[in-house]
């Protein structure tokens, strides 16, 4: 290939993997089916607010380092913004924009009274001490505090953030507000207003989505071989819950490598090893393979539960799964999704499949505002009701428009937001 063709190919891949452009493609396809005029499209596409902040932090060695943080509020038509905060070295504004828009559609597809938001800080948490991460989190909270609030914007954990991060945010906000405000974030520890079932919620939503989608492809859990990319809160818990449902989990992975056993992994043993060792490496009950091979393994169900842009036009034709359940946000590019659907692969899109997390975040927000907390059985039961209802609505929309589940989910979500926009009208 000539250098000119190589550059053109690289540029095409950059555009394909741009998460905001990928989101926009899905939006435009659904908007065409809905017959939305250009004015409404423009309103719903554009973020309401984007904030970029500089965060000077004193490091443990006494030096001062300046970090960059973002918070994007995509849409507040249906309620306060809702969405996670991620700490990662490759965070960028296009990514945060796309994730905030996906949160709008995700909240809408499961019919929660929220709009979408997302935040991120460019840093590498693996190289930072607990004290440095606390100072960074508190500084970030103060910097974006003017746009936060239980009725304005409610963050949650995301990549490389957790319950402790949320506790620091809640405490910082509460100190400045001069009152304890538990409903400012979700995904908190139980002791300060967290919800039962929140940590397992995204993985549980993936399991519920897989159960519903298996009916479409005519399979039963006990006959389904599953590859799970990831082993964290989504991949690990999702794999365990699928294992308990009778699925055969043949592969799991983490950032250090991938394990595979065609006869099925002992998932509880895998997760115990992971808790003790911090990585899958060294697990004795499986073969260790290259991470690049995992998505192309022979399987019935593929659960990409790591990060975005894992399935692209470069590897879509080598995907063997009949069903893909997207545990991560944006793991399949728009182009790859079209290639797979043209081959008859059923894809349960991220805005539906991983909506269990935001659904139980909503439950946590409601419980904090009431000051009354539910049992885990009630949380899980209500989560299942919402997820199954949303799946059925999306499946019905797919039949009505003769489209895949991804486009159908966008149609359901965008139609709800557009309806509210028409009812509320323009402010001027």
DSSP state, 88?
A: E
Helix axes 38-45, 19-34, angle to 10 degrees: 150
Distance CA 172, CA 169 (A): 5
Q: Is 98 helix (H, G, I), strand (E, B) or coil?
A: helix
In the Cβ-directed half-sphere of 105, how many Cα atoms lie within 13 Å? Answer: 32
What does the radius of gyration of the chain's CA atoms come to, in whole angstroms?
A: 21
Structure-token pair, residue 106: 């995700």
Q: Is 85 helix (H, G, I), strand (E, B) or coil?
A: strand
In the Cβ-directed half-sphere of 48, how many Cα atoms lie within 13 Å? Answer: 18
Bridge-based pairing of strands 153-157 and 115-122 is unpaired
Distance CA 226, CA 49 (A): 40
Q: Which of 116, 60, 128, 48 is nearest to 88 (CA)?
A: 128
Q: Is 118 a catalytic residue?
A: yes
Distance CA 78, CA 413 (A): 11
Residue 83 φ/ψ, nearest 5 degrees: 170, 155
Q: Are 92 and 68 in contact (CB under 8 A)?
A: no
Q: Where are the beta strands (DSSP E) in 255-399?
A: 257-260, 287-289, 301-304, 323-325, 346-348
Structure-token pair, residue 3: 């250098």
**Maximum separation of any 2 CA atoms in the chain, in Å:** 65
Distance CA 100, CA 112 (A): 15
**Which residues, including other chains, have CB under 8 Å from residue 321's CB and lie 6 or more apart?**
227, 299, 300, 301, 302, 345
Distance CA 220, CA 222 (A): 6
Distance CA 279, CA 289 (A): 14
Place of tokens 């030096």: 63
Distance CA 257, CA 230 (A): 10
For residue 246, how many other CB atoms are within 10 A of its CB? 11
Residue among 52, 65, 106, 118 flagged as catalytic: 118
Distance CA 422, CA 427 (A): 12
Active site residues: 118
């Amino acid at each position: 290939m000539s250098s000119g063709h190589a550059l053109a190919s690289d540029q095409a891949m950059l555009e394909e993997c741009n998460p905001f452009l990928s989101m926009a493609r899905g939006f435009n396809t659904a908007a065409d089916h809905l017959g939305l005029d250009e004015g409404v499209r423009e309103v719903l596409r554009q973020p309401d607010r984007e904030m970029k902040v500089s965060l000077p932090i004193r490091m443990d060695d006494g030096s001062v380092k300046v970090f960059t943080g973002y918070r994007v509020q995509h849409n507040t038509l249906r309620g306060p913004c809702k969405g996670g905060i991620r700490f990662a070295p490759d965070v960028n504004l296009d990514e945060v924009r796309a994730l905030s828009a996906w949160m709008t559609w995700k909240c809408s597809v499961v019919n929660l009274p929220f709009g979408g938001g997302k935040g991120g800080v460019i840093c590498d948490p693996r190289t930072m001490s607990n004290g440095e991460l606390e100072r960074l989190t508190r500084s970030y909270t103060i910097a974006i505090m003017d746009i936060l609030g239980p009725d304005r914007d409610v963050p949650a954990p995301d990549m490389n953030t957790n319950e402790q991060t949320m506790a620091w945010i809640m405490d910082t906000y509460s100190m400045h507000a001069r009152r304890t405000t538990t409903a400012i974030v979700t995904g908190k520890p139980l002791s300060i207003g967290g919800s039962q079932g929140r940590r397992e919620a995204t993985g549980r939503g993936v399991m519920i989505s897989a159960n519903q989608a298996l009916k479409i492809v005519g399979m039963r859990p006990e006959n389904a071989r599953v590859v799970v990319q990831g082993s964290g809160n989504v991949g690990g818990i999702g794999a365990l819950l699928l294992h308990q449902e009778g699925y055969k989990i043949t592969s799991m992975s983490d950032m250090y490598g991938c394990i595979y056993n065609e006869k099925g992994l002992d998932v509880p043993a895998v997760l115990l090893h992971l808790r003790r060792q911090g990585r899958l490496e060294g697990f004795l009950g499986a073969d260790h393979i290259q991470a690049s091979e995992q998505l192309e393994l022979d399987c019935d169900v593929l659960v990409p539960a790591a990060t975005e842009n894992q399935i692209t036009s470069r590897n879509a034709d080598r995907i063997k799964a009949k069903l893909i359940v997207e545990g991560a946000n944006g793991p399949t590019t728009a182009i790859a999704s079209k290639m797979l659907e043209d081959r008859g692969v059923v894809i349960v899109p991220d805005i539906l499949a991983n909506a269990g997390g935001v659904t139980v975040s909503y439950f946590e927000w409601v419980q904090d505002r009431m000051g009354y907390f539910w049992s885990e059985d009630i949380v899980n039961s209500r989560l299942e009701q919402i997820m199954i209802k949303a799946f059925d609505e999306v499946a019905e929309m797919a039949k009505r428009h003769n489209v895949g589940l991804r486009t159908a989910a966008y149609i359901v979500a965008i139609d709800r937001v557009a309806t509210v926009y028409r009812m509320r009208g323009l402010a001027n």
